[in-house]
Amino acid sequence: NYIMETKNLSFQYPDGTHALDNICLHLEKGTTTGLLGGNGAGKSTLFLLLNGILKPTQGEVLYNNQPISYTSKGLQQLRQSVGIVFQDPDTQLFSASVYEDVSFGVVNLGISESEARVRIERALKQTGTYELRHKPTHSLSYGQKKRVALAGIIAMEPTVLILDEPTAGLDPQGVKEIMDLIDTLKQNLNMAIIIATHDMDLVPLYCDYLYVLKSGQLHTSGTVSDVFSQP
Ligand code: ADP
Ligand code: ADP
Measured N-to-C along each axis, helices 142-154 and 113-126 cross at an angle, to the nearest 10 degrees, of: 140
Low-confidence ranges of the chain (pLDDT < 70): 231
Give the model confidence (pLDDT) of 20-62 as tens digits.
Answer: 999 999 999 999 999 999 999 999 999 999 999 999 999 999 9
Nearest CA owner, ligand 2 atom 11 = 117
Nearest CA owner, ligand 2 atom 4 = 134
Ligand closest to CA 20:
1
ipTM above threshold 0.85: no
Nearest CA owner, ligand 2 atom 18 = 99
Nearest CA owner, ligand 1 atom 12 = 19
**Which pLDDT value is given to residue 4?**
98
Gap from CA of 138 to ligand 2 centroid (Å): 19
Whole-model pTM? 0.89
Residue 97 Cβ contacting ligand 2 at under 6 Å: yes
Cβ-contact 224, 208 below 8 angstroms: yes
Residue 117 Cβ contacting ligand 2 at under 6 Å: yes
Strand partners, 161: 83, 193
